[in-house]
Amino acid sequence: MTPKRVRTMDLEDPFVASFEGMCELLLVRHGEQQFRDNIPLGEALDAPLSDLGWRQARAVGERLKDARLGAVYCSPLQRAHNTAIEIAKHHGLEPVIDADLSEIDLWKNAPQDKGLLDLYSRDELVAVYREVAATRRHSAYPYCEDADAFRDRVVSAIDRVIAANIGQRVVVACHGGVINAYLAHLLKSAYDHLVSVHHTSITVVRAADTRRELLTINDYAHVMPIQSSRGSLNASR
């Protein structure tokens, strides 16, 4: 028997009673990461959670503990994996790791044993970041991995998660670049950076067949009781 087609009005309804025929996807950015000054680039991509990052991860886990999750997926990078664990433990789940959910490597083609201040003066680095802010494109980073290939792998990974979880609500604990890549895909934007995604914020997408409905973006209400300022790392990866 052919499954009943989900109505678009149900995809858009925040109070829908059932996820039959659809998947509700919660894209959660990891908690704040911990960096030290001029960290070698080979270590920077997989930086651990900071003390605040752990508190943020526990806060989003508490917020989602009654959310009836069917699965939790995550990037293999430790800041995303540990955030996923804090969510999954409330549901008796183990996070499913997918390497295609990893963050874009903005310095992939740079010497990995060097820090940014070994490659640039502070003024030169400021100029790079200004160009990134002006263009909203990853290509403004001189050593970045291929941005189009990154977006393609993110979209493919998330669409696999959706296809495997029709009828369920699932979490994908990932990265700001990953969330922006999927948002850009949904909104048909050429920009790589659309939103400054807050640490552990929740972005909600509903999916059925080829349709995608974006319900919320960058909801971080759960960190308001534990965080009083944005922090310099929030715009990082």
- Tell me the pLDDT tens digit for each residue of 38-50: 889 998 899 999 9
Model's pTM, two decimal places? 0.94
Cα radius of gyration rounded to whole Å, the chain: 18
- Domain 20-105+145-223 sits in CATH at 3.40.50.1240
How many angstroms separate the Cα of 133 from the Cα of each of 106, 109, 130, 163? Answer: 14, 21, 5, 35
Question: What per-residue confidence (pLDDT) applies to 38?
Answer: 86
pLDDT tens digits, one per residue of 74-97: 999 999 999 999 999 999 999 999
- pLDDT over threshold 80, residue 55: yes
- pLDDT over threshold 90, residue 1: no
- pLDDT over threshold 80, residue 231: no
Quick one: pLDDT band at residue 212, thresholds 50, 70, 90?
very high
Chain mean pLDDT for the chain: 94
- pLDDT over threshold 50, residue 235: no
Nearest-angstrom CA–CA distance, 29 and 203: 9
Nearest-angstrom CA–CA distance, 88 and 82: 10
